[in-house]
Every structure is written in C-alpha cells, then in structure tokens.
Chain A
C-alpha cells in the first residue's frame, strides 16, 4: 500500500462539540497502537513508576513488559555496600551481568591464581580487586559461577552438546547440597548466608526437587528482612515450587507477596499470579493483613479493563496510603478518557462506527465519571493518601471531560501548583491548559496571547521528552522503541490536531488551522528531509492537500515570507521559512484549478522547477503497472471502463488549455457552445468517476464514488456541478438538435452523480434495503432525473440518442415509454 492510501482525515460538521470530530487515526490501516488508540491527556505515570506496567491499555495484557526496577542494579548496589571500601556498584554490575565467556575465564584465572594480572579494561575494577582480598566473597563468587551453567541455560539449538535436559541432575543436587552446607556455615554473615540459601533453593527448583526448594526457603530465608531483595527472589522460587507441588492458592498468595515487596520481580509475580487457576476468594482468604488483601485485590483489578468501582473502593478502605490507590485512580480516569473524548474512538469515521458509539455506552461512562469525581473528592478531603492533591487534579480533569469547566477551574484554584510533586504539577498545568483551550474554543472567551506561555511550556516539555528518549534509544526509530514513554508528545498532538486545529477551521481561519496541524505532528511522521511534505508529516500533508483553499495557502505563503503576525508566532519560529517550494506551488496551483481560476493556477505553476513531477497514479492491477495519464477532453458515452490517456498531461498544460478555451469563448463567440462543451468535459473528467481526477486531487478511493465528501472541491470531485453548469451553457448557445441532445445526455449523467451518501455505512444500509423486496433506491432516484424526461420528450428521434441507447443500455430503460 503506498502512502496515498495511508490515512484520510474526515472533517465533518464542525459546530457539534467542542472536541471536534476528527478521526485522525487510520480507519483501514494496521493494528492500533496500544499507547495511542484513544485521546488521552491524563498521564499514566503521575502516580509514579512503581506500577507503570499495569497502566490501563485495553490493547495488550501489560502496558510495559520491563520490570519497574532493575534487578542487576539492585544486586550490584547490595554487593557494593557489603564489600565496602570504595567498591562501585557499576563495577559490580559490569562483572556480574555484562561479561562474555572469554572475559569470565580471564576473571576466573585472576581470582584463582596467585599472580595472574587483569587486562587493562578490568584492571581498575573495584569489585574484582575487592574479591581478591575478600576470601569469603571470592569463594561465593566462584561457587555462583559453578552454578551458572545450570541456572542460566540458553538453548542453542540442536547442535548444543550440553543442553540441560541431558545434564546430570545429580550434579545440580550436589551443587544445591554444597550451597546448603555453606549457608549453614555462614551463620555469622547474613549477607552470604541468604545468598547461599538462594543458590540452593534455585538449584533444587530447576532440578525439579520442589520439596527441598521449599524447605530451604523455610529454613534460611523466612526470617530475613522483608525488604531484602534476595528474599523476594527466593520467595518467587518457593511460590513456583508450591504451585508445582499442587497448592495453587498458597502459590498465588506468595506471588502476591513478591508483587508487593520486590519491584524487580513485580511483572513476573503478576504474570504468575494470573497463570494460576484458583478461585480468587481462596487466595484472598490467605492474606494476613489489610495491606496484603489490598495487594491481592489490586492484582485482580489491574487485569480489569472495564469500569471498576469495587477494586478501588476496597483497596482504599484497606490501605489508603498505598501507591496502589493512585495507580487504580489513574487507570479509571484513563478508562473514562477512552469513552468520553469524542475523537477517541479508534473506529471513528469508518462505516462500522455506529456499532461502537452506542448512546448507552456514553451514559454509562458519564455515570462512572460522576462516581469517580465523588471518589476523588473523598480522596482529597480524607487526607490519608500520600498525595491528596491527586484527587483534586484528577477530579478537575474529569470535570473537564464532562464539560463542567468552571468546576474544573475552581478545583485547580484550590491547589498551589508549587507544592505539588513534579509529575502532578505537570498534570495540573495540562488540565489548566485544557481549560484555557476550552474557554477559547467554546466560550470564545479565551485570549491567544494569554495562552502562549502555557503552550510554550508544553513545547519545551515535548522537546525535552524527545531528547531524553533519543539519548536513551538513539536517533533511529526512537519513537517506536520509546512509544510507551512519549506522553507529552501525544498530549501535544492530541491538543493541536484534535482540539485547536478543528476550532480554527470552524472559525474559518484555515491557515492557522493548517499551522496548528503541523505543530502537533507526531515525531514519527516527520522526516527532516528536504521535501516540504516530509517535513509536514503525513496527517498534516493530507490536511493541507485536502482542506486549504487558495486564500489560505496564499496567507501561509505570506507568513512564510514576512513572519506570522499572530500572538502564537513564537511557537512557529524557524518552521515557516522554507514553505515556498515546488510542492507548495503545485499545491497552490491545484487549489486554483479546483476553483476554476486557470490564470491564477498557471501563475502558480510557473514557479515550478522544470524537473518537478508528482508521482502519477498507476494501475496496480495491470502487469506493467501502467501510469494513468489524464485525458480530460475525451468524449465518451460510457464513464466505465475508464479511458485514461496514453500521453502525459500535466496540470500546467491542463490549466493552459482551459484558460485557452475561456479565451476562445471571448474571441470566437460564434463557436462558444463548442468551447463550453469542451470546458465542461474537462472539468467533468476531474471527478472521481473520471480519468483526470489526479489533476485536482492527490488521492482517490472507490468510496469517493458514493460519498458526498467535505472537500471544497467536492463539487467537481464528487458531483460534477461545474460540468453541469457549462453543459447547460453550451446547450443554451446552440441550435443544433444533435448537439443539444448530446448536452442533455451529459447533463443527465451529471445529475446522476448526486446519488451520494454521508457515509459508507449509509450507502450500504440503503443498498441492502433494496434486497428486502423494495425497489432499488438507485432506480427510484433515477426516476427523478429531469434530463431523462427531456431526452425522452424532446430528443428521442435524434441520431445521437439512438446511438446512445444502444451503447448505454440503462439509458434505454430510463427513457423508455413506461418510465414514469
């Protein structure tokens, strides 16, 4: 599929809601982006990073797969602390987690021999130097390395002579026993003791001796500190062992403990909890405290993508201070967004839309929203939760979603933004910005200048976020790799493209709307190459090509030359300069063609460089992918099959020919009728049904044959209106009956073009109605065509009509004597 077909923006009636109705997302494209399938302004990382993988998304099991914290960092820090004496955690991590086989054997030799030196790259490694001095730590290291091949099996494929399943299980038992012996001996050194115990438990677990695994945990690790990470890792092993020993409820309960205490294993514990098939109440009954109960309820709640009051209420009652409360509240707010932001439906705009945008779903969502506002109020006033202002800002946002903007404003005013944590403060500012936008767009009481600082703030956040992610992931494709993290970028895109641009369109300030579309373009669409379109990004490009009349384009050109004379000018600094390019002139010329101002079109095309060509449409179904050249002045009775030209014809040439014809009408009024007829043909063929649509449109779909369309050039592209006007003129100016018959015939065809629908769904509904024993609606429609009447009443005997009825068999039906 080439880019022409990638997306379509449909701007339907504007004055409907203050969100505008824009389906920017692809109606018939690839799978939905789980991070961007609905319009969202409430960032899901406001309550913190600890439970980010469990943020709401209805499109995948987890929002993120990576654990909230890094196990390697945690372990390295622990070792650095234990060894003391200036050992750096980063050195530990390097040796423990990032050495290959060759380096590992070098390290081994260094540690086990007397005077084997380290290579330069490791000679300053504080961890290795500490190990050299510390006999017990060194012994543990060597022992752990012995365990490694059994613990860290990588299946290499058929040709691996050492896969674990043929390894000696007895060997693994032996290692586990040795580990236990060492654990027992290390009574004085708790740090090493529990680590040896962990190695034992792990070996037993992997060797399949689950009873011993549990026994080891119970003996050595039960009494370790709860916040000791090794205890958490060992507990996960015990939980898995218990599950295999046939006690699923206890296993699930233990996983819930790991979930709470061990962030570096949280996703693992969550997944395991959900793998286990056991009645929920059984697991809950094993909880020993309110906190534990809350965690178990939250684990269940995180897996629920429907509106959920029960979980958040229970968790708040049981553990009001827990971060789980904030995460659950954020999830509920995101769920509301996916239903209440009108433009949010992934399916919006397609013919199947009505199946999903049921009124009852809206009612349900508003009801839940009201409940959430009450809950948020309670959260704020109770002051149990660690950051009660989350309730205030959350409620303000939901009020904005419901349209209660003054309430939202009042709520924000009750909080001092300076006192908030950084993320909550950012969210506060976003809600504030949304309120101002609402005032601007709905109440028309806003002030562009006053909004500028907030927009600049957003801009700076967007740039900082992109830079941070580029640093982490590299410049290539960072927007794919970092998709889950591009929160401010998505906020900006949604704000500019879903809210601000439609508002300005509605005001008739199309040029401004065009700029705002560009401002909000997502970084993944933009390619900083030379061509104007690649710098605009695809959605903006489509907008510019479809919505900008010549006046708007001229205004953009002026802004490009002289600068933007509006309060928001600082937002566009540096962007407008290189607007005047070949693509721009082509677009301007095309816009004039659509307005039938051929002189102006020619003037615009005159700026084009000689080698400029747009990609021409090709016939995908032909073997050689033939180019489809326009042939606008062809005279044919049948529109189908379409007869494309065999030679190239550019827009410039078309403009010249049309202007020439108009000139001829002035110079040679005697033959004006012929010239009008040719003008009419020319413009008729620029319809979607013709062979020259590429002269006025950059894309074409078969749906364009049925849709009313909302382009300013729909008159030509969908309805043949101008063609009808010129055929009419031609007929008036001629006395030749044959010629008049021909004009009438063409007028009849033009009239037939108005069989159009608002949406494809309507078209299908109407068409299928005819299968229920009702007359074909197209037949009924055609009966209204006055030109068929005229043909029958006045021109039936002409040669033209007689030929036509033979070539166009429907014509015979439509002008038959029994036709009403």
Chain B
C-alpha cells in the first residue's frame, strides 16, 4: 500500500509539529506585576493587564521601612492601603522595602524587634486586603558591605516570624550576582534579580541607567547560571527624564511632559543621543534654562533583547517574571501582545 510508505514521514512531521508547537520544552514562567502605589486600586486597564499575563499573584509594596521615627527609629513609611479587598483569584505577595540606613548599628535584639514588627505589620495589611495569609514574602533592600551581616540577621529573624510554608525572597542587584564574596548570599529561599536601574543614574552622560545590555553582560554573563539560589527576574516598563544642571544630577522630573522633548523650540537635542538641552525655563516642571534632560526609555527592543539575554544565561528552572510596575500610563507604551511575547521569550 502506498500510504504506509508515508508513515515515517508523517511521523517525523507530527513529531516536529508537536515539538515545534510546544516550542522548547521549558519549565513554566509565572508572570506578574509589581504594584508600587500607596493605594491599591487598579483601574480596568491595569486589571486587564494582570489577566493578560495570566498572573494569579501580584507583588504589592506594603511599606518602606526608614528611620523616620520621632527619635530616629525605624518605622513604616507610606504604607499601602487597600481600597477594596482583592478578588479571590488573585493572591498578594507582600514586598517590604528597607532603606539601607536602617540596618546600620543595630543590635541583634533590635533586629529581632524589627523583624517582629515587620511581620506583624505585613499580616495586618494583608488582612485589610482580604487575604488570610501569604505564600511568599519579598524583602527589597540595597544592602552594602557594612550592613550585610545585619541584613542577613534580619532575614533570619523574619523567617522565624513567618509560617514555615512561606517562601522568603530577597532582591538582588546585578553586581551582587557577580560579587558573591563581598555581597554575600542572603539567607533566603529565592532571590529576585532586579534587571533595571543598573547604570549610574546620577552620572552625566547619554547612557541608559534603566536598562543597559553592556552592564548585564559584565555582571551576569558567566555568573547568573552559577548563582546558588533560585532566581526570579524583574524587568522594567518605565521611563523617565533625568535632569542635570551644570552637569550635576538635579533629579528626575515628574512633571515634564516627554512630548515636549521633540519640540525643538523648547529643547535642543544633542544629535543622536538621549540628551536634550532646555532653551527656555519651564516653571511648571521646575526646570531652568540650560538644564539638560536625559530621556531614558524602555523600548520594546531593549526589553526583548534583555529577555533573550536572560533566557540564554539563566538556569533552566521555574521562576517568576515580574514587570515593574503596574500603571496604566506605562501600559499604553506596551501592548498586551508585546508583553506576552516577552514572557514567551523565556
């Protein structure tokens, strides 16, 4: 019979189809967003973005911890408030940002108290969110060599205050992936690699301090796959205008409409770079004539290049991919398909 002759061909075709259809056989990527505002109240665009990436968890910043107490003691700052309880389909992963200064000159007892306070506060806030508990707690801290030991002690203390089933995650910056000896490895279950704000924000120049592939190569290329803890990834969605006055860093202008940058009557571009010089004063944005604005943007091309790089150099394991951060303005820049595509790159 002549159709039997085609069985091997069909078989190979089917196989390749199947394999092609599945893509590479990868472990799952759980995508989600950071929620970094002080009132949890996502609008419809934001809610649909959550659904769009198939997120069943959202990473909410619960509070900063900073030495703003009356006697200089560490207290919660700008704690989130939940306008409404979250739907049952969406879990909360609480994130606590700890200012590095808080960890200086703390005794073990003080760290113990701090850990207890943090744990209690987080639980209280989760209740307001309508959640009984949490599966994961993320601590965000840019620790340094001097605060390293105290920070790790704090993490240990926090662990004793949370349930055994809760995963403890610590954020990591690029250089901390490479410089294991000086940075140490935090006593956490996982780490979250923040793939943004990797360059030097305050340095004058036309680099992009948010996302810089060169920097990623330096710190991650040979080291990411060696990192001893499971690694989650966070990618940026944001852009901003960095202002320099007389070549000195003057801040990030929140009130500058980026559309104005292309108005040559107002701004003089430095050909081909991301720098723009102000020709007049813009009082509404708090800018003076002669100020130089570096427009740092996260474009989809950079994002996908970063995703490809990370996919290549990362260990093949389950992980969470986070976008920083959930905001309808930012979502206008990226379409649903684009974001889904980023997820699929892994």
A residues with a Cβ closer than 8 A to B are 158-162, 166, 168
Q: Which residues of A contact B81 (CB under 8 A)?
A: 166
Query: A161 and B124: CB pair below 8 A?
Result: yes
Residues B75-115 near A (CB distance < 8 A)? 75-76, 79, 81, 83
Asked whether, in the complex, the Cβ of A161 is within 8 Å of the Cβ of B125, the reply is yes
A195 vs chain B, min Cβ distance (A): 28
Contact string against A for B residues 109-147, beta-carbon threshold 8 Å, 1 for contact and 0 otherwise: 000000001001111110110000000000000000000
A168 to B81, CA, bound (A): 9
The number of residue pairs between A and B whose CB atoms lie closer than 8 Å in the complex comes to 24
User: Which B residues are in CB contact (< 8 Å) with A158?
Assistant: 69, 75-76
B79 touches A159 (CB 8 A): no
Rounded to whole angstroms, the CA-CA distance of A166 and B128 in the bound complex is 10
Contact B120 A161 (CB under 8 A): yes
What would 5 more interface pairs be, CB under 8 Å, given A159-B75, A159-B120, A161-B120?
A158-B69, A158-B75, A158-B76, A161-B124, A168-B83
A161 touches B121 (CB 8 A): yes
Q: Chain B residue with minimal CB distance to A163?
A: B79
User: Taking CB as reference atom, which chain B residue is nearest A165?
Assistant: B81
A162 to chain B: which residues have CB within 8 Å? 124, 128
Dominant secondary structure of chain B at its interface with chain A? helix
Nearest CB of chain B from residue A164's CB, rounded to whole Å: 12
List of A residues within 8 angstroms of B127 by Cβ: 161
Interface CB pairs A-B, < 8 A, 10: A158-B75, A159-B76, A160-B124, A161-B120, A161-B123, A161-B128, A162-B124, A162-B128, A166-B79, A166-B81
Residue of A nearest to B125 (CB): A161
User: Could you say which residues of chain B place their CB within 8 Å of the CB of A166?
Assistant: 79, 81
Q: What residues on A are CB-neighbors of B120 within 8 Å?
A: 159, 161
User: How far does the alpha carbon of A161 sit from the alpha carbon of B131 in the complex, in Å?
Assistant: 14
Task: State how many residues of chain B have any CB contact under 8 Å with chain A.
Answer: 15
* Chain B contacts for A168, CB-based, 8 A: 83
Question: Of all chain B residues, which has the CB nearest A166?
Answer: B81
A583 to B79, CA, bound (A): 67
Residues of A within 8 A of B125 (CB): 161
Chain A hits for B79, CB < 8 A = 161, 166
B124 neighbours in A (Cβ, 8 Å): 160-162
Asked whether B117 lies within 8 Å of A159 as measured between CB atoms, the reply is: yes
- In the bound complex, what is the Cα–Cα distance between A166 and B81 (angstroms)? 7
Question: In the complex, what distance in Å separates the CA atom of A166 from the CA atom of B121?
Answer: 13
Per the bound structure, the CA–CA distance linking A146 and B121 in Å amounts to: 21
Task: Kindly state the separation between the CA atoms of A162 and B120 in the bound complex, as whole angstroms.
Answer: 11
- Bound-state CA distance A168–B122 (Å) is 18
Q: 9 smallest A-B Cβ distances: which pairs?
A: A161-B124, A158-B75, A159-B117, A161-B121, A166-B81, A161-B125, A162-B124, A159-B121, A158-B69
* Residues of A with C-beta under 8 A to B128: 161-162
Which residue in chain A gives the minimum CB-CB distance to B63?
A161
Complex CA gap A737/B323 in Å reads 112
Q: How far is the CA of A158 from the CA of B76 in the complex (A)?
A: 7
CB distance from A162 to the nearest CB of B (A): 6
In the bound complex, how far is the Cα of B128 from the Cα of A162, in angstroms?
A: 8
In Å, the complex CA distance between A166 and B79 comes to: 9
Nearest A-chain residue to B82, judged by Cβ: A168
Task: Give the shortest distance, in Å, between A55 (CB) and chain B (any CB).
Answer: 38
Chain B window 306-322, contacts with chain A (Cβ cutoff 8 Å), 1 for yes, 0 for no: 00000000000000000
Most buried by B among A158, A161, A168: A161
Chain B residues with Cβ under 8 A from A160's Cβ? 124
**CA distance in complex: A201, B67 (Å):** 40
Tell me which residues across on chain A come within 8 A of B117, comparing CB atoms: 159
The CA-CA distance from A168 to B39 in the complex, in Å, is: 12
Q: Nearest chain A CB to B130's CB is how many angstroms away?
A: 12
In Å, the complex CA distance between A161 and B123 comes to 8
Given the complex of chains A and B, what is the CA–CA distance between A161 and B82 in angstroms? 12
Give Cα A162 to B123, complex, Å. Answer: 11
Complex CA gap A455/B128 in Å reads: 68
> How far is B102's CA from A158's CA once the two chains are assembled, in angstroms?
15
Complex-state Cα separation, A160 to B117, whole angstroms: 9
In this complex, which of A159, A160, A168 has the most chain B Cβ atoms within 10 angstroms of its Cβ?
A159
Question: Closest CB-CB distance, B112 to chain A, in whole Å?
Answer: 14
The distance in angstroms between the C-alpha atoms of A166 and B83, with both chains bound, is 10
Residue of A nearest to B74 (CB): A158
Complex formed: what's the CA distance from A161 to B83 in Å?
15
In chain A, what residue has the closest Cβ to B80?
A166
Contacting residues, chain A, for B69 (C-beta < 8 A): 158
CA distance A627 to B69 in the complex (A): 48
B122: chain A residues within 8 A (beta carbon): 161
> B58-81 CB contact bits vs A (8 Å, 1 = yes)?
000000000001000001100101
Chain B, range 292-335, C-beta contacts under 8 Å to A: none
Q: How close is A160's CB to chain B, nearest CB, in angstroms? A: 8
CB distance from B344 to the nearest CB of A (A): 39
CA–CA, A15 and B125, complex, Å: 77
Closest Cβ neighbor of B39 among chain A residues: A166
Q: How far is the CA of A166 from the CA of B125 in the complex (A)?
A: 11
Q: What is the bound-complex CA distance between A160 and B76, given in angstroms? A: 9
Q: Across the interface, name the chain B residue whose C-beta is closest to A161.
A: B124
Contacts of B76 in A (CB 8 A): 158-159, 161
Proximity bits, B198-215, A CB within 8 Å = 1, else 0:
000000000000000000
Q: Which residues of B15-72 are within 8 A (CB) of A?
A: 69
**Cα–Cα, bound, A762→B125 (Å):** 71
How distant is A686 from chain B, measured CB to nearest CB, in Å? 55
Complex Cα distance A162/B124, Å? 7
Give, as a whole number of angstroms, the nearest-CB distance from B329 to chain A: 25
Closest to B114 in A: A159
Residues in B with CB closer than 8 Å to A159 are 75-76, 117, 120-121
Inter-chain CA distance A160–B125, complex, in Å, is 10
Give CA–CA (A568, B124) in the complex, Å.
Answer: 70
What is the minimal beta-carbon distance from B273 to any residue of chain A, in angstroms?
45
| Minimum distance in angstroms from A169 CB to a CB of chain B | 11
Give every chain A residue within 8 A of B83 (Cβ-Cβ): 168
Residue of B with least CB distance to A158 = B75
Residue of A nearest to B123 (CB): A161
CB-nearest residue of chain B relative to A159?
B117
Measured CB to CB, the closest approach of chain A to B308, in angstroms, equals 42
Residues 267 to 299 of chain B near chain A (Cβ within 8 Å): none
Query: Using Cβ atoms and an 8 Å threshold, which residues of chain A touch B75?
Result: 158-159
- Least CB distance from B211 to A in Å reads 35
Give Cα A598 to B282, complex, Å: 100
CB distance from A149 to the nearest CB of B (A): 12
Q: What's the least CB distance linking B117 to chain A, in Å?
A: 4
Q: Considering the chains assembled together, what is the distance between the CA atoms of A160 and B127 in angstroms?
A: 13
Closest to B68 in A: A158
CB-based nearest A residue for B38: A166
Expressed in whole angstroms, the minimum distance between the Cβ of B268 and any Cβ of chain A is 46
Q: Which residues of A contact B121 (CB under 8 A)?
A: 159, 161
Give complex CA distance A134, B127 in Å: 32
- Inter-chain CA distance A166–B39, complex, in Å, is 10
Please give the distance in Å from A819's CB to the nearest CB on chain B.
Answer: 67
Nearest to B113 among chain A residues (CB) is A159
Nearest Cβ on chain A to B264's Cβ, whole angstroms? 47
Q: Which residues of B contact A161 (CB under 8 A)?
A: 76, 79, 120-125, 127-128
The distance from the CB of A503 to the nearest CB of chain B, in whole angstroms, is 58
Q: A160–B79 Cα gap in the complex (Å)?
A: 11
Report the Cα distance A622→B177, complex, angstroms: 64
Bound Cα distance from A158 to B71, whole angstroms: 12
Give the distance in Å from the alpha carbon of A161 to the alpha carbon of B127 in the complex.
Answer: 10
- How far is B121's CA from A159's CA once the two chains are assembled, in angstroms? 6
A168 to B123, CA, bound (A): 17
Q: How far is the CA of A168 from the CA of B69 in the complex (A)?
A: 25
Bound-state Cα–Cα, A110 to B124, Å: 25
Distance in angstroms from B96 CB to nearest chain A CB is 12
Q: How far, in whole Å, are A159 and B69 apart by their CA atoms in the complex?
A: 11
How far is B116's CA from A159's CA once the two chains are assembled, in angstroms?
A: 10
Minimal beta-carbon separation of B173 from chain A (angstroms):
28
A162 to B79: give the CA distance in the assembly, Å: 10
For the complex, give the distance between the alpha carbons of A159 and B120 in Å.
8
Distance A806 CA – B105 CA, assembled complex (angstroms): 65
Q: Which residue of B lies closest to A170 (CB)?
A: B83
